[in-house]
Amino acid sequence: MMDQPLLLAASAIAFLSFAVHTFVGGRYAARPLINSTLPAATIWLNYLCWHAVTVGLLLIAGALALVALEVVHPDAGWLAVMFAAGISGASLLATARGGIPFYRFPASYLLASVCALAAAGLSI
């Protein structure tokens, strides 16, 4: 048995994470990266990672919504939870390593919220 409202809330927060990443982060992270004087390989490999996270955030949101609507097996939700936890953890490590306040990287706390809501929704 699953709790669909919790899963839908987790999906909505994952989609919000996607929107923040794309529209806010794009302005303050991706655009300056592209315009930087770093070596081309560094720029484009980082830009590739940027887009991989963009796609991943959409997949997390979509998987959780599909699980909530009982279109796919709940295991897809657990995969989304694990992926979200990985991105959240990596975000926390990046902020700590870079000396950046954690609230400046919304992925850390938004995806931690996704993990908590989705895990609770999948466990009920």
pLDDT-based confidence at 86, cuts 50/70/90?
A: very high
pLDDT at 94: 92
What is the spatial distance between Cα 109 and Cα 116, in angstroms, rounded to a whole number? Answer: 10
pLDDT-based confidence at 93, cuts 50/70/90?
A: very high
Mean pLDDT for all residues in the chain: 95
pLDDT at 2: 82
pLDDT for 40 beyond 80: yes
pLDDT at 104: 84
CB within 8 Å of 110: residues ≥ 6 apart: 13, 14, 16, 17, 20, 88
Cα-based distances in Å from 30 to 66, 91, 100, 116, 117 = 30, 16, 17, 28, 29
pLDDT-based confidence at 27, cuts 50/70/90?
A: very high
